[in-house]
């Protein structure tokens, strides 16, 4: 899942980005309101974390721009201590929840997951499936034939992408941008290594192999023999 963080304080921004990355999200960080709004309108996000006090256009204007464009992703905004009117204003403008600074990252993560859970009820399935493989997006759990499989955050994101686009051959460049949030660098074999590890965990012990290499093209998850 992809999260947009709009935060001008460098330290807070990178702290949020790093934490969300470690929790398995793909994260874009914008350091001002205009960049944040631009990203929100041009990329697809599952959720936005929006600081209120931003240079240029503030968090409220970003939020209004997002809602005016008809984007209904959940928005969690970050507000200063004791700004009660801020919270009311934010919720009136269409924010879904707020957090008062300073906050513990664990609290932010809990809010983010709760918002995604609420949004997901109507939007999409919470569990992605292929044959006897199940990936539970909210519990962040993978099970095959009833057996729990432990994945790293990146392996989870990779499997999620393969499952969402089941049957579709995914080029390495696409996997690199979606899962690693980087441009594909032909010198690195990070994707091959991750696919190999994922196969060991997901396919090795099972007769039906789900993850396939399409030579010269990329990878696909499909049920066909
Ligand atoms: Ca700020």
Q: Which two tokens stand for residue 145?
A: 């034939």
d(CA 170, CA 221): 9
Q: 158 with 179: CB under 8 angstroms?
A: yes
Q: If pLDDT is split at 50, 70 and 90, which confidence band does 72 have?
A: confident
Whether omega for the bond prior to residue 102 falls within 30 degrees of 0, making it cis, is: yes
8 CA from centroid of ligand 1 (Å)? 5
State which H helix or E strand residue 51 sits in.
strand 47-51
Class of domain 127-221: mainly alpha
d(CA 79, CA 95): 12
pLDDT tens column, 183-202:
666 556 888 999 999 999 99
Q: Could you say which DSSP state residue 218 is in?
A: E
What does the pLDDT average to over 117-122? 65
**Domain residue spans of the chain:** 2-120, 127-221
* pLDDT for residue 125: 60
Q: Give pTM, 2 decimals.
A: 0.58
7 CA from centroid of ligand 1 (Å)? 6
Question: At residue 208, does pLDDT exceed 90?
Answer: yes
29 CA from centroid of ligand 1 (Å)? 13
53 CA from centroid of ligand 1 (Å)? 4
* pLDDT for residue 46: 93
> Scanning the structure block, which residue is given the tokens 């997002």?
66
CATH architecture of 2-120: 3-Layer(aba) Sandwich (3.40)
190 CA from centroid of ligand 1 (Å)? 35
């Amino acid at each position: 899942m992809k999260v947009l963080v709009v935060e001008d304080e460098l330290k807070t921004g990178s702290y949020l980005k790093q934490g969300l990355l470690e929790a398995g999200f793909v994260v874009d960080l914008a350091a001002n309101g205009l960049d944040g709004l631009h990203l929100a309108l041009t990329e697809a996000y599952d959720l936005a974390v929006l600081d209120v006090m931003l240079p240029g256009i503030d968090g409220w204007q970003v939020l209004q721009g997002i809602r005016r464009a008809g984007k209904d992703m959940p928005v969690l905004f970050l507000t200063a201590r004791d700004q009660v009117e801020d919270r009311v204003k934010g919720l009136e403008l269409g924010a879904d929840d707020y957090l008062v600074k300073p906050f513990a990252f664990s609290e932010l993560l809990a809010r983010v997951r709760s918002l995604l859970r609420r949004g997901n009820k109507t939007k999409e399935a919470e569990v992605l499936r292929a044959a006897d493989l199940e990936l539970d997006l909210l519990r962040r759990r993978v099970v095959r034939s009833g057996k729990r499989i432990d994945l790293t955050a990146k392996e989870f994101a990779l499997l999620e992408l393969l499952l969402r686009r089941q049957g579709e051959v995914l080029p390495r460049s696409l996997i690199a941008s979606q899962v690693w949030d980087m441009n594909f660098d032909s010198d690195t074999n990070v994707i091959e290594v991750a696919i190999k590890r994922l196969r060991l965990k997901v396919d090795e012990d099972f007769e039906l192999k789900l993850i396939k290499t399409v030579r010269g093209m990329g990878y696909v998850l499909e049920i066909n023999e």
